[in-house]
Every structure is written in structure tokens, then in C-alpha cells.
Structure 1
Amino acid sequence: MRKLERRANICLLLAAALFIGILIFTWRFVTKGQDWASFYGNRQIYTNGEVNRGTIYDRNGVMLLNCTKDGLVYPSDASLRKATVHAVGDPKGNIATGAINVFRPQLIGYDLLNGTYDTTKDGSKINLTIDAKANLAAYKALGNRQGMVGVYNYKTGEIMAMVCTPSVDPKGSLPTNSSSSEYFNTFLSGRLTPGSTFKTVTAAAAIDNVDDIDDFSFNCTGVTYVNGSPIKCTERHGHVDFEMALAKSCNGAFGEITRKVGASAMKDYVKKIGLTNSLDINGIKTAKGTFVFPKDDPVKLSWAGIGQADDLVNPASMMVYMGAIANGGKAINPYIIGSSNFLKKVTGGDSLGNYLSSGTAGKMKSMMKNDVKVTYGESNFRGLDIYAKSGTAETGSGTPDAWFVGFIDDADHPYAFVVWVKNGGTGYKVAGPVAYKTLLALVQNN
């Protein structure tokens, strides 16, 4: 009897182990099946190590990549190939954020029931949200300079433009070093010194944390001493209030504003508006920004609030913050695969929450419009209702980097943007025209 009981218990244990194993396998099959099916060893969907099925288009139906058994087919225009390669990907898969890598299961037509079986053997057609013409305009505007352009719809979340230079021609001679800067997607994976564009963060923190900020007054003599250390401006700005301190990008004034806000509030604020978080863009994780606001060092704290010191921002996260200012404080998560449907256009895209109150967003919007009127010149952006902040980031490597960030207020074209040009110098003079040409192309083509 005892033997029977013992054998029954063993059978029950084996049955339980089998049941648990089936559950684990089913779970892994559901969550990992597409990775198994799209593994490079599957000769049905690869030829000479390259995907042999599926086509990638832009938002307007422009073919950006056709995967065939005879090889990968890119557009005939070399500039267009270079302008879109960081979104589409290269033949060797060295651009980790490229669609050919990230969206391979969708490209080959994988589904849970049939796996990679495809009666047509053509794979799937996927549409990226980017606009090929706008990407081309951005690429040409950047020219031979190292830089980056990102634009997205701050209502729906569609990434409209994503261009990084230097770039590679996927049909040309590719760099043999997989770590080459030409493969690097600065927009998604970069962390850069933001320079004076970060003053939009400090200004918003001041609105929320300094009760008398509207009464702020500062006399800029060109240099301000804090504990004996100089904080220099590009020129002598004279008397500035809160709004004009941003328009003239006065370092002395914003150093004082940062000290009024305080280290703890600044630390909390960059977290609140998502600059220290990683965005999830269709499974692509962006880099996290890093900031240091020392409580016991007013000099370093001042420079941190100005956008220097140890500040490092991810461009995509800065773009989303710009979109939140434009969108009444509500931040929308970006995406790059698929097109906006009617529901998203009406109700809005996937929310990341309220980065700012509507009142703070409205105040920042007014101040950024004043920047354009006072400093950048509305005549330089004809046809666009633009709101912006430029930046000149000192990186210790010669000429400063140029930044231009902001958005346009247009119900039909609600676009937030970020532009960075390495060693470009003055932000609005160098990065500003790049933003303008890109935005014009988007407005005209969508």
C-alpha cells in the first residue's frame, strides 16, 4: 500500500513538473516566439545574412527599404538613403535603433499562429512615421557638420523627422568598425550638454517654486561673481526681468534664479519632466539624462541651472519636454512605427502625464515667443508661428555646440523640435536655420 502511495506521489510530482514546464514553455513561446522565428539561422527568411522579405515605407508611401532574395533595395537617391538610414537601418545591422533590427519580426511577417510562414514570401509592409522629404531637408541643412534633428507631433506622438550626421550610405562602403560614430543615433542614444536650452527647465522650476519670480530683477554687467568665482555672459545685458533674462539668455541672472530655486527643487524638477527617465519608443529605450545639483556649492549649482557643469540631456527627452510646453503641460510619448489613427488625432497620443501645470506651460510658451521676437527675429521664420530657445553649449572641445529647441503652434502641424550641431557656435544662427528648413518641409508635405 505504501509503495502504491509513494508511486502515486511521484506521479503527481512528475505531472506537476510537466504542467509547470508547459506553462513556462507557453509563456516563453508567446513572449519570445518572434525572436526565435526571426533568428539569423532561419534560412527561410535570410539570404547571406540579410532579411529577404518585407518593405519599409515612410508615412507617405515612399519606399525606404525593400528586402528581397536578391538583396536589400534602398532608394536610388544617395542623400535620401543617408537621411533615413538611422531610422531604417544598415545592411550589417550596426545601427542598433534601425527598423531592420528593431522591427524585424513585423518586417518578415511573423504572427503567433503561423510563425514566419508566408504564402507570398514577400513579408509585410510597415510604415514608419517619418517624412522622407523632411528628413532629406534636415540632412541637407546639416551639410557636412556633425549634428542631429528630431521633430515629432506633440499631439499624436508621431516622430516626423530623425536625422543624425555623420551618416552612412547603406549602398556604399560601410565603416568596418561597428562602433563608428556614423552608426550612432544621437537623437535616441545620445547624452549632450544642453547649454542655455536648459534655462527653459530652470525657468519652469522657478515659476513653480519661487513665489516672487515675476518681480525678479537683475543688473548684468557681463560678469557676476559667486563666492569669488566668475559667471560670465556673452555680453553686458544691463537690467533684465525674468522674461528678458530668458530672451537674452543671461547667465548671471539664471545663476541667481537657480540658487533661488535650490538644489533639491532642481533635482526633483528634472525628474518630474522626464529628463532623467528613459523613453520607450516602440521598444527602443532612449538614453537617460544626468544632472548634478550640489547643495553645498553655489557656483556649480549656478552653472548647472544654466545648462553647463555636469548637465547631460537626451535630445528625444528634451523634444518631448518642448512638446509638453506646447501641449498645455501634457507630455505625449513618441513612436516611430505605424501612422496616427483618427482616435489619436482626436483624443491625443499615449500620455506620459502632466510634466507642467497648464499655467506654467502657458507662461513658458509666452516667454519662448518673446525669445523669438526679441532675439531670434520672427522674420527668420516666415510662415511659422514658432516658439524657441537657443543654446550655446561649452563642452571643452573648441567651438561650442549649437542648439535650437522649441515648437510651432499650428493646429494642423503641431510639431516640437530639437536641433544640435557640434561645434556650431551660436545656436539660433546655426541650428535655427536647420530647424526652419526641416519644419517648412514638414508643413508643406503633410
Structure 2
Amino acid sequence: MKKLEKRAIICLTMAAVLFLGICVFTYRFVTKGSDWATFYVNQHIYSEGRLSIGTIYDVNGKLLARNKNGKVRYNKDESIRRATVHAVGDMDGNIATAARSAFKSRLVGYNLLTGTYSITGKGNELTLTIDADVCRAAYEALGGRDGLVGVYNYETGEIICMVSSPGFDPENPPQVAEDDTSGLYINKFLSANLIPGSIFKLVTSAAAIENLDDLDTWSYTCAGVNYINGEKITCTAAHGTVDFDRALAVSCNCAFAELAQRVGGTLMESYVEKLGLTAAYDIDGIKNSRGEFEFPHEAPLNLAWAGIGQYNDQLNPCSMLVYMGAIARNGISVEPRLIHSALSGPSETERMIKTSTAKKLQNMMKNNVTVSYGDGNFPGLDIYAKSGTAEVYGREPNAWFTGFIKNKNAPYAFIVCVENGGYGSSVAGPIANQVLQAAVNR
């Protein structure tokens, strides 16, 4: 009798283990099945290690890449190929965030019932949100300089321009050394973290507006330098007495150093989180890089530098673009998308800032253009912006320009960075204008 009991217990244990194993397998099959099916050894969808099915188009139906028999047919225009390579992908899948790598299961038409089987044998057609002509305009505006351009529709979330430089022609890829540091295969809009410089003052501004009661009457007299514990914060000029609006318009480091200290490290930390700058957005399955910031509570000088976009600030351009959308949309933004679909609507973020804060920032950013950048430099555009000149140790500064335009038919937020390019408004500003003109008139 005892033998029967022991055998029964063993059988039940084995059955339980088998059942648990089936559950684990089923879970992994459902969640990881697409990864298994699109592994490069699957000769049904790969040829000589390269994806052999699936076609990618831009939002206007322009061919970007067609996979066939281990070869890729790209757009006939070399400029478009170079401008869109970081969004579309190279032949060997070196760009992890590009469509050919990140959207493999969609391209091959994988599902749980039929796997990677395709009736036509050609896979699926995938339409991206990017506009190839706008991307080409951005790539040409960068003029071979290292950097990035991003534009998205802050009402729908569709990314219409995502350009990273240096670029290359995917039909004639360059030989890259193992120790290469050029960032050739990095989509900087999604994957890079860069020193933001003065565009970060839009973050400090939001924190100040919502937490300093006397901001309407606050002023600061800038002599060109602000000493903190014997160390100095410097400005490009002695700005004289400035109120809050003018401090942003002339990008007064000394004034914003004081504001950052008054806001304090704890609140600054909470605002980079609240504004989504430390988050990774799920962009149709692609995650952008999380920004990194440090606001030392016991080091006033370092806190001051962090509040003006220096010190250890590391900003992801995509996250900053979403924040620009929040300012444009009165406090709530929409998450970015890269796959065009008429069936799915925009996904809103949590509220980032109060409606009154967003309207105040809108007025200040419009004032920036009027006072500092010149409305005439952006003909026909109702533009709201902030420039940045981010100091980089041992090199020329990074030039930034970010903001949005108000246009019922073209509600676009934008961000431009030219690495080691010089001053933000004079270097990155004209690029933003060229790209926005192309976007509005597309």
C-alpha cells in the first residue's frame, strides 16, 4: 500500500512539473514567439543572414526599403537613403532601433497561428510615420555636420522627421573599425544622451513657475558673473536687471543659477521625472534612452550649473520633444509613434505641467523669438522656441534649438542639435527653419 502511495505521489509530482512546464512554455511562446520565429537562422524569412521579405514605405507611400532574396532595394534617391537610414535600417541590422531590426515580426507577418508563413511569400508592407522628403531636407540642412533633427506632430504623436548624422548610404555602407566612435550606427534622436545647455532652462522655468510665489515681481541684476562659494557662473554678457521673461529671452545663466538654487535639488529631481525626461517611451516597441540628471543638494554651485543645463545633465532629444508637445498642448503631451496607422489614435501622457504654466511658457517662448531670434528668420511660421549652447569640455559647444509651431494643419514640435557646432540660435535655428518650411509645405 505504501509503495502505491509513493508511486502516486511521484506521478502527481511529475504531472505537476509537466503542467508547470507547459504553462511556462505557453507564456514564453506567446511573449517571445516572434523573437524565436524571426531569429536569423529561419531560412524561410532569411537569405544569407539577411531578412528576405517585407517592404517599408514612408507616410506618403514612397518606397524606403524592400527585402528580397537577402538583398535590399532602397529608394532611388541617395539623399533619401542617407536621410532615412537610421529610421529604416542597414542591410546587416547594425542599427538596432531601425525598422528592419525593431519591426521584423511586423515585416514578416508573424502571428501565433501561422507563424511567419506568408501567402504571397513577400511578407508584409509597413508604413512608417516619417516623411522622406522632410527627412531629406533635414539631412541636407545639417550639411554633413554631426547632430540630429526630430519633428513630431504633437496632436497625433507621429514622428515625421527623425534624422541622425553622420549618415551613410545603406547601398554602399562604409567599413567601420571596431573602435569607431563616430556614432555612425546610432540613431541619436532615440538613443543618444547629450548635454542640453540652455534649452534645459525650460525645465527650470516650469519648476520655478509652479513653486516660487514671487516670480511675477522677481528680478536679477546680471553683471556677467555670479559668484557661488567663491566659484563663478558666467554669462555671455552683462545683461543688467532682468525679470523672469527677459532672463529666458537673453538666456541669462546668472539669473537661472539663482532660480535653480531657490527651487532646490529635490524639486528639480521631481520635475525631470514629471516632465518625462528620465522616462523611456514605448514607440511601437522601440524604447528611447532615459535621460540622466544630478542635482546635488549640498553643492550650490553644481546645482546652479545643473539648472542651466550643464554639470552632469544628459538629455535624450526624443523625451525633450515630447515635453515641447506638453507646452504646446497646455500641459498634456502625446506619446511618439513611428508606425502609421489609421486605426489607432494618439496616446496621451500624464499631465506634465499645469495649463497656466504651459500658457506662461508659450508666451515666454514666443517672446524669445521676438526679442532674441527674430521673427523674420522664420517666415510664415508661428514659432515658439528656445536655443541652447551647451559647453562640452575640450570641444566646441553643442548648438540646440527646440520648440513648436502653432498651425492647425501642421502642429509640429521640433528639436535640432548640431554637435560641436557653436551657438544655438545662429547654427541650429536656421536648420529648424529649413526643416519646418519643408514640413509645413509638404
User: What band does the TM-score fall into relative to the shorter chain?
Assistant: over 0.9
Deviations 1:67-95 (A, max 9, x none): 01161100111111010000000011111
* Offset, 1:435: 1.0
Task: Specify the alignment match of 1:20 in structure 2.
Answer: 20
1:414 corresponds to which residue? Answer: 411
User: Counterpart of 1:149 in 2: which secondary structure?
Assistant: strand
Task: Give the alignment of 1:96-107 within 5 angstroms.
Answer: 96-107=96-107
TM-score scaled to structure 2, two decimals?
Answer: 0.97
- Residue equivalent to 1:86: 86
Distance across 2 between alignment mates of 1:278 and 1:51: 28
Aligned-partner Cα distance in 2 for 1:420–1:175: 26
Letter in 2 for 1:125: E
Q: Quote the residue 1:444 is aligned against.
A: 441
1:44 is matched with 44
2:382 matched residue in structure 1: 385
CA contact (8 A) 2:71 2:91 kept: no
**For residue 233 of structure 2, what is the aligned residue in structure 1?**
231
Q: In the TM superposition, what is the alpha-carbon distance from 1:406 to its structure 2 partner?
A: 0.3
Q: Does residue 433 in structure 1 map to residue 435 in structure 2?
A: no
Which of 359, 371, 381 is the aligned partner of 1:374? 371
Q: CA deviation at 1:5?
A: 3.0
The Cα shift of 1:340 comes to 4.8
Which shows bigger deviation, 332-341 or 135-144?
332-341
1:360 aligns with 2:357: yes
SS in 1 for 2:149: strand
Displaced runs of 4+ in structure 1, greater than 4 A?
none
Q: Which residue of 1 aligns with 2:197?
A: 195
SS of the residue 1:29 aligns to: helix
Extract unaligned runs of 5+ from structure 1.
none
Deviation at 1:190, TM superposition (A): 0.7
CA RMSD of aligned residues (A): 1.4
Contact 2:398 2:422 in 1 (8 A): yes
Equivalence for 1:264: 266
> Does structure 1 conserve the Cα–Cα contact (< 8 Å) formed by 2:49 and 2:70?
no
**Would you say 1:326 and 2:323 are equivalent positions?**
no
Kindly indicate whether the alpha-carbon contact (under 8 Å) linking 2:189 and 2:318 is maintained by their aligned counterparts in 1.
Answer: yes
Whether the 8 Å contact between 2:54 and 2:66 is mirrored in structure 1 is yes
Paired with 1:322 and 1:232, the residues of 2 have a C-alpha distance of 27
- Partner of 1:205 in structure 2? 207
Hey, what does 1:295 align to over in structure 2?
297
3-state SS of 2:403 partner: strand
- Work out the CA distance in 2 between the residues paired with 1:282 and 1:133: 22
Aligned AA (1:338): H
Q: CA separation in 1, counterparts of 2:119 and 2:267? A: 59
* Superposed displacement of residue 337, structure 1: 1.4
State yes or no: 1:110 paired with 2:107.
Answer: no
- Report the Cα distance in structure 1 between the residues aligned to 2:280 and 2:29, rounded to whole angstroms: 28
Q: Distance in 1 between matches of 2:348 and 2:6?
A: 57
Contact 1:156-1:340 within 8 A present in 2 as well? no
Contact between 1:63 and 1:75, CA under 8 Å: does it hold in 2? yes
The whole-number CA distance in structure 2 between the counterparts of 1:252 and 1:176 is: 43
1:68 aligns with 2:65: no
2:54 partner letter: G
Task: Name the structure 2 match of 1:308.
Answer: 310
- Counterpart in 2 of 1:185? 187
Amino acid across the alignment from 2:246: M
Q: Aligned match of 1:285 in 287, 302, 306?
A: 287
The CA deviation string for residues 364-417 of structure 1, in whole angstroms up to 9 with x for no partner, is 111001001111111111111110000000011322110000001112211111
- If the length of structure 1 is used for normalisation, what is the TM-score? 0.96
Q: Which amino acid aligns with 2:315?
A: V
Q: Per-residue deviation at 1:355?
A: 0.7
Deviations 1:175-194 (A, max 9, x none): 33466511111111111110
For residue 147 of structure 1, report the CA deviation from its aligned partner.
0.8
Q: Paired residue for 1:394, among 391, 394, 411?
A: 391
Matching residue's letter, 2:259? I
Would the aligned equivalents of 1:158 and 1:339 in 2 still touch at CA under 8 Å? no
Q: Decide whether the 8 Å contact of 2:152 with 2:412 is kept in 1.
A: yes
Deviation string, structure 1 residues 147-174 (Cα, Å, up to 9, x no partner): 1001111111111110000012110133
Q: Distance in 2 between matches of 1:266 and 1:27?
A: 41
AA matched with 1:23: C
Question: In 2, distance between residues paired with 1:374 and 1:78?
Answer: 40
Partner of 1:142: 142
Matched, 1:351 2:348: yes
AA aligned to 1:249 is S
Unaligned runs of 5+ in 2: none
In structure 1, distance between residues paired with 2:360 and 2:438: 29
Partners of 2:412 and 2:336 lie apart in 1 by 12
Paired residues of 1:401 and 1:423 also in contact (CA < 8 A): yes
Q: How many residues align?
A: 440
Equivalent residues of 2:229, 2:301 under 8 A apart: yes
Partners of 1:356 and 1:114 lie apart in 2 by: 46
Cα distance in 2 for residues equivalent to 1:330 and 1:239: 34
Moved more, 139-148 or 223-232: 223-232
Q: Is the 8 A contact 1:281 1:334 kept in 2?
A: yes
Kept in 2: contact 1:158–1:340 (CA 8 A): no
- Residue 6 (structure 1) shift: 2.8
Q: Which residue of 2 aligns with 1:221?
A: 223
Overall identity of the aligned pairs, in %: 53
Q: What residue identity is the alignment partner of 2:248?
A: L
Classify the secondary structure of the residue corresponding to 1:182.
Answer: coil
